[in-house]
Amino acid sequence: MPFKPRTIIGALVGLAAVAGLFYVAFRDEAVPVDLVAATRDVMRITVDADGKTRIKDIYEISAPVSGTARRSPVSVGETVVKGETVVATVQPSETGFLDTRTRVQAEAAVREAEAALQATETSVRQSEEELNYANSQFTRIQTLVDRGVASLTQLEDAAQARTIKEAVLDSARANRAAAESALERARAALIEPGPPANGETDDTCCVPILAPADGVVLDIVNVSERPVQAGTALLSIGQPDNLEIVADILSSEAVRIEKGAPALVERWGGDETLHATVREIDPAATTKVSALGIEEQRVDVTLDFEEGDVTGKGLGDGYAVFVRIIVWEGRDVLQVPISALFRNDGGWALFAYDDGVARRISVEVGRRSGLMAEIVSGIDEGTRVITHPSDRVEDGVEVVDRSTLN
């Protein structure tokens, strides 16, 4: 029985609807992706590291003598003036009491020194008499020579004898001075602790220490009065705005850094980025253990802030900062995020967005920073590339910009 035209049209419409349902049900959905455009911009390759600020010139003040350090006359943060501000006071140690044996020995030493002094005084008087005699002999012979009675040889002998007696007298006087010093030293050994001498006060009995430079008191070891030995640290002074940075860097990274390299200083507590310059790279590395227990060779790199860059910023000694030392910089570099790149046949490739379809493109990669990579060839500026492509993204697969789905 022949089909009516109306029946045929209805059947075709039904088949088309079924086919559409099958297409909708079984077709692959577009893969959501993140897109970023390749741009030309400044590109920096940096060596990043944690660092600490440090005052350049710190004056460590120590006790000049053993004794008692009086309570600190200054406080941390106080401004001091070179040669004027008393920053510490030390009272020298007093001698201890003498036991019987020590006292007897000291008294015997005094008597011995007194006898030695008396002997030297006798020697001085004898030498003076001998010199007087030599002078009189020289005068007498000189008179005889003038009269023609004595010879010049006799006069020369008298002059030589007088010179020798003068030297003997000088030696005797030097021995007497040494004996006097020995007597004073022996008597000093008998001095015992007691009240201050006449006219001596607490101020005159102590050693005041003046500030060696203008600056601010950075640290005081102990504010309270305490006994100290000679050389014991008391406090430190410096200029808080005269700062530098010390960064701890892996030796494998330090070899890429040159003196004079610029650096960016971040995470110091403020919103703006500060600037610094590498001044010194330590010639020797030290072995340190990382948080993971791995031994590493690390090098200290010292940087100077740009002049005036830290004024009024509130930074001080030992503050934590993060530095990015620039080892290479390009001004007009075509670049994409490193997250867009992947290995393909021994080279580099990426997925470009082409009107809703992912296209795999091989590219030549140049320099790489922490987040971006230089593209030497393969794509042009403005090409939209897929970052962090998942396993579902392949060449020719339909994709959709994730930002348009919201």
Does the pLDDT at position 204 exceed 90? no
Q: What pLDDT does 29 receive? A: 84
- Cβ atoms < 10 Å from Cβ of 138: 18
Does the pLDDT at position 10 exceed 80? no
**Banded model confidence at residue 304, pLDDT cuts 50, 70, 90:** very high
Domain edges within the chain: 27-43+332-404, 46-55+240-329, 60-93+201-238, 100-188
Out of 2.40.100.10, 1.10.3470.10, 2.40.420.20, 3.40.50.720, the CATH code matching 27-43+332-404 is 2.40.420.20
Does the pLDDT at position 350 exceed 50? yes
Q: What pLDDT does 262 receive? A: 95
User: Residue 55 in contact with residue 242, Cβ under 8 Å?
Assistant: yes
Q: Are 27-43+332-404 and 60-93+201-238 in the same CATH fold?
A: no
**Banded model confidence at residue 328, pLDDT cuts 50, 70, 90:** very high
Domain 46-55+240-329 -> CATH class: mainly beta
% pLDDT > 90, the chain: 58
Nearest residue to 387 via CA among 8, 17, 23, 33: 33
Q: What pLDDT does 11 receive? A: 58
Q: Give the Cα separation of 210 and 86 in Å (integer).
A: 4
Angle among Cα 210, 215, 218 to the nearest 5 degrees reads 90
Does the pLDDT at position 23 exceed 80? no
Q: What pLDDT does 24 receive? A: 42
* DSSP bridge pairs for 337: 372
Decide: pTM greater than 0.75: no
Domain 60-93+201-238 -> CATH class: mainly beta
Residues 60-97 pLDDT 10s: 999 998 888 999 999 998 999 999 999 999 988 776 66
User: Residue 96 in contact with residue 191, Cβ under 8 Å?
Assistant: no
Does the pLDDT at position 370 exceed 90? no
Q: Give the Cα separation of 341 and 363 in Å (integer).
A: 9
Q: Which of 150-159, 226-235, 354-363, 377-386 has the lowest mean pLDDT?
A: 150-159
Does the pLDDT at position 195 exceed 70? no
Phi then psi dihedrals of residue 373, to 5 deg: -130, 140
Q: What is the CA radius of gyration of the chain?
A: 47
| HEC-encoded secondary structure of 179-201 | HHHHHHHHHHCCCCCCCCCCCCC
Average pLDDT, the chain: 87
Question: Given the structure tokens 């020697």, which residue do they identify?
Answer: 123
